Structure 1
Amino acid sequence: MSVSVPAGADLWSDPVYLPTTAGQEVAVSVYVRGTIVPSAHTSAFRKNYLTPAGSGDQTRDATGSSFTATTTAFLVVNAVDVQNPALLGAVVVIGGSVVDGVGSDKTGVMGKGPAAPLESRWSDVLAHRIVGELPLLQQYSVVGAELSANTAARACALNPPPYGSVQDRLEADVFSQSNVRYVILYAGTNDIGIGTGCTAEQILAAYDDIVLRSRAHGARVIVSTITPRASYTASQNTTRQYVNSVILEDARKGGGRFDGSLDFDSALKWSNYPNAIDPMFDSGDTIHPNAEGYNAIGYSIDLRLLKAK
């Protein structure tokens, strides 16, 4: 099938009957004629395959022998929608580079250990836990809607709309997905970290907007505390700690402002210096976790928050 996709547009293919199992990899081969720069998610942290330039259309090569080059980016294909009536729906994880998995390819103290396997993000851990720990009829798919450098608040965005903030991206990257039942939001660290930084009130107002709009689409929102950065100033840490206190206080009251709360801060922080990531969990840049840190985040998530609706 040959199609033309306008710049900036999305296109859904016709359904394909292809039985799959939980966690199984699916290869989608795409041929693009001419010389272009394809749409890409460069921080995918998984291996994808390419043919050398000038190889022509190899989409029917079922052996894979033509695909001799590799990339760790996602190219062209944005999602694979799987019809599974046994699932309760989808959990969409959204945020910036800590959701993207930056640093997840590193291990050891300050990231100085051997390379980690690809797909060591906390969302990968969550997906494996759902399959391994929840009964078959209480499971969800996990959909990644992460984008490095994202802020929670549009007003604090590093980049212009429509990609700069979670507020900007909800319609295109969350509500466009099928049967979304939960949104797990980890954002706010970049809101604080840019320039003079956003205020706690701006970050919390963005959370409230994201919750309101998600609920209108039938999705519950679970919000995480903001993890440490050794580079934060005292003022920035005051902002972070205030936002975190609001998230945790809502959990203590049984929710209402949010539909659930997670504490990624406690999963990563160093007991000797709570405003920094534990060196055992640090990728080396004092901002992003290593694979062990992402694993700690993934196992800090209480699966009981994912209730059937």
Structure 2
Amino acid sequence: MSALGEFRTLRRSRVREEAPDNKAAAIFLAPWILGLLGITLGPMIASLYLAFTDYNLLQDPKWTGLDNIQRMLHDDRLGHALQVTFTYVIVSVPLQLAFALAIALLLDRGIRGLSLYRSILYLPSLLGASVAIAILWRLIFGNEGLATKFMGLFGYDGPGWIADPDTSIYTLIILHVWTFGAPMVIFLAGLRQLPRELYEAAATDGASRFRQLRSITLPLLSPIIFFNLVLGIIGSFQSFTQAFVVSNGTGGPSDSTLFFSLYLYQEGFTSFRMGYASALAWVLLLIIGAFTALNFWASKYWVFYND
């Protein structure tokens, strides 16, 4: 064998030796890839097709083109559902983040039993989206609930908050604010990473606690605020269980708790208009994507990073 042939043989053997063995990685990734294709990507493609069809779950889908889009433009209940959902998101998310940050600031002051308090305050985040808590909420704010009786002490003689179209949405907002545990834990972790020498220097210069909060804490914590804000908005647009249980699946009274996701459910699984429901699902995706993109665009004006 020539010297050139020996060199090529030696080179190929070295390449085989240095090439990484990806079989193990492929085996471990296989369940995730199968789940992505079969549970996420596949249904998404199917729903995109159904969005342009008339499908009632009992007969084969019938292609209708843009009929579902045209129907949305004349759907009064859809417009009302969007109004209710936007009100819920715009009011509940900032209130929840403000409350979570306030509790995190209190816990960051080094109180005893921090782990216990943190666990107790985190518990509502685990239970808030459950059916049991939604039923409990309906009892508390019902006609004979504790909240109604408490308001009766101040002369309130109206129906329960849930039965009143003017106040029913605020019971769900209160429930959302009550589940502040997850953003609180993230805020607390961020506060623990802030450099203490900045606060010492500010205190030496005579800065008050409010000035330290405004000039040091909030700017340094802005990336975490942004993170919680994005997750909070996405989660709020997808809220379903609370409104479904509190209103018995109707979105009442007078559609005052008709979230977009609840209306989507009614169209798909109550009225059996699955094609229209699929179109609504894609509209919800576009709305969430638009809000997320808007947040990322606006973040350059108020989010500050160390670099």
Fold shared, TM-score > 0.5 on shorter chain:
no
Q: TM-score, normalised by structure 1?
A: 0.27
More helix by share: 2
Q: TM-score, normalised by structure 2?
A: 0.28
More strand by share: 1
**Max Rg structure:** 2
